[in-house]
Amino acid sequence: MAQRAPDGALRRDGAADREGQRRGAAHPRPQHEERHPEAGLGLGGPSVAEPFVIAERRGDAVWLTLNRPERLNAVHLEMRDQLWTHLELLRDDPTVRVAVLRGAGDRAFSAGADITEFGTAPSFVEARDARVRRDLWGVMSTLEIPLIAAVHGFAYGAGLEMSLYCDLRVAAEDALFAIPEVTLGYIPSAGGTQTVPRHVPLGQALRMATTGDAVPAQRAYELGFVQRVVTRERLDDAAAEWADMLASRDPRATRATKRAVVRGLDLPLADGIALERRLAASVAAAA
């Protein structure tokens, strides 16, 4: 979750770089007024002038942009809470068929947790209670619509973990993936030791977790946890192509297919096939 530059040095923050930032209005709930990400949060969310996650509606898709480019989109409490709120809105909105997650600026998808908060965050009990109330990883892993990660630059620690909670990953050629917690003397706490082995062979997962070494985009593609690699200039277009294609499908079939695949992974084969049959029957009955 630390931020590491391409030369391997760990850094607490990145150079200011707000170029490429895209700003848009938060997507509205159907027939309801627009809701801002800080509404209802218990940790003192930022003002409307400080959106750490920008949500933009594009037809049947919602694009979510992590918006702390001067900190390499490092995840702090406010960003985490805002992302959770937006994902909850997506869960409740039947008109949204797909979502895209990306990072603002030119240097990072997300460099992981903001280590400048270490020692200043709420107590362990308060942090645990906040995670229970706003389970970001739980929302991402159970979201019924497809979630696409458009990754460029650093995807370290929590940044890598966020991308792995998405269903599809398209990466720019400059993307770097790492779980570098061991280099700071601790281990991942947002699922890195569990999500990475579910996407790459065990030996590769252990290498990433025990060395903290970064994996370039092309190697990530070869290992299978990135599904497409494009030039940096093509990243948004490539994500949009996937989003448009998925949004054009019957949403009931798309959601049921995702449910069958994701839930089936935790079931014995016979139970997974039975689940698939039940879901297929429900989709056919609703057609």
Helix (H, G, I), strand (E, B) or coil at 151: strand
The confidence score (pLDDT) of residue 84 equals 95
Clarify whether 233 is annotated catalytic. no
The confidence score (pLDDT) of residue 94 equals 93
In order of 7, 56, 187, 224, the CA distances from 238 in angstroms are 29, 17, 33, 18
245, 250, 251, 256 alpha-carbon torsion, rounded to 10°: -110
Output Rg (C-alpha) for the chain, integer angstroms: 19
- Beta strands per DSSP E along the chain: 3-4, 10-11, 53-58, 61-66, 98-103, 108-110, 147-151, 154-156, 168-172, 176-178, 215-216, 228-230
In the chain, where the domains are located: 3-249, 250-287
Under 8 Å between Cβ of 200 and 223: yes
142, 37, 46, 23 alpha-carbon torsion, rounded to 10°: 100
The confidence score (pLDDT) of residue 254 equals 96
* Other residues' Cβ atoms within 10 Å of the Cβ of residue 198: 11
Q: Max alpha carbon distance in the chain (Å)?
A: 57
With a CB cutoff of 8 Å and minimum separation 6, the contacts of 71 are 13, 14, 111, 114
* Other residues' Cβ atoms within 10 Å of the Cβ of residue 88: 16
Give the CATH number of domain 3-249; options: 3.30.420.40, 3.30.565.10, 3.90.226.10, 3.40.50.970: 3.90.226.10
In three-state form (DSSP H/G/I as H, E/B as E, the rest C), the secondary structure along 102-149 is EECCCCEEECCECHHHCCCCCCHHHHHHHHHHCCHHHHHHHCCCCEEE
Annotated catalytic residue within 38, 70, 173, 181: 181
Find where tokens 């800080």 sit: 38
**pLDDT tens for each residue of the chain, 287 residues long:** 444 443 333 333 333 333 333 333 343 433 323 333 333 233 233 344 579 999 999 999 999 999 999 999 999 999 999 999 999 999 989 999 999 999 999 999 999 988 776 555 555 445 544 554 568 989 999 999 999 999 999 999 999 999 999 999 999 999 999 999 898 888 887 788 889 999 999 999 999 999 999 999 999 999 999 999 999 999 999 999 999 999 999 999 999 999 999 999 999 999 999 999 999 999 999 87
Q: DSSP letter at 270?
A: H
Q: Which of 79, 78, 73 is nearest to 16 (CA)?
A: 73
Annotated catalytic residue within 19, 56, 144, 161: 161
Helix (H, G, I), strand (E, B) or coil at 266: coil
The confidence score (pLDDT) of residue 49 equals 57
Coarse DSSP helix, strand, coil percentages of the chain, rounded to the nearest 5 percent: 45, 15, 40
Clarify whether 161 is annotated catalytic. yes
Residue 224 tokens, joined: 């299978």
Helix (H, G, I), strand (E, B) or coil at 82: helix
Q: Which of 242, 149, 162 is nearest to 196 (CA)?
A: 162
The confidence score (pLDDT) of residue 113 equals 86
With a CB cutoff of 8 Å and minimum separation 6, the contacts of 182 are 209, 210, 211, 212
